[in-house]
Amino acid sequence: MLMDVHVHLFPPDVVGRIKEYLEKDAFLCQICTSPLHKYASAEDLLAEMDKCGLDKAAISGFASSDQGLCREMNDYVLEAARINPRRFLAMAVVSPLDSGMEKEISRCCESGAVGVGELFPWGQKFALEGREAGELASVCTERNLPLLLHINENVGHYYTGKGDVSIREAADFAAKHPELTIIYAHWGGGLFFYELMPEIKNQLQNVYYDTAAGPFLYHKNIYRAAREIGVIHKILLGTDYPLLSPRRYFRELQEAGLTPLEIEMIRGENAARLFFNSQEQVHTD
Per-residue model confidence (pLDDT) at position 24: 82
Confidence of residue 279 (pLDDT cuts 50, 70, 90): very low
CB 182 within 8 A of CB 189: no
Is the pLDDT score of 281 beyond 70?
Answer: no
Confidence of residue 285 (pLDDT cuts 50, 70, 90): very low
Confidence of residue 277 (pLDDT cuts 50, 70, 90): confident
**What is the radius of gyration, based on Cα positions, of the chain?**
17
pTM over 0.85: yes
- What are the C-alpha distances in Å from 50 to residues 22, 54, 81, 149, 179? 32, 6, 16, 27, 36
CATH of 3-276, one of 3.40.50.150, 3.30.70.580, 3.20.20.140, 3.30.70.260: 3.20.20.140
What would the pLDDT profile of 26-41 be if each residue is shown by its tens digit? 899 999 999 989 999 9
Beta bridge partners of 183: 148, 208
Per-residue model confidence (pLDDT) at position 276: 93
Distance CA 280, CA 282 (A): 6
Per-residue model confidence (pLDDT) at position 283: 37
What would the pLDDT profile of 200-240 be if each residue is shown by its tens digit? 999 999 999 999 999 999 999 999 999 999 999 999 999 99
Strands ordered across the beta sheet of 182-184: 3-8, 56-60, 88-92, 115-119, 147-149, 182-184, 207-210, 235-236
What would the pLDDT profile of 117-167 be if each residue is shown by its tens digit? 999 999 999 999 999 999 999 999 999 999 999 999 999 999 989 999 999
Give the residue among 50, 224, 238, 40 at the shortest CA–CA distance from 146: 238
Give the residue among 240, 224, 236 at the shortest CA–CA distance from 265: 236
Is the pLDDT score of 107 beyond 50?
Answer: yes
What would the pLDDT profile of 160-197 be if each residue is shown by its tens digit? 899 999 999 999 999 999 999 999 999 999 999 999 99
CB 55 within 8 A of CB 1: yes
Per-residue model confidence (pLDDT) at position 39: 96
CB 223 within 8 A of CB 256: yes
Is the pLDDT score of 95 beyond 50?
Answer: yes
Give the residue among 117, 144, 123 at the shortest CA–CA distance from 60: 117
Domain boundaries, the chain: 3-276
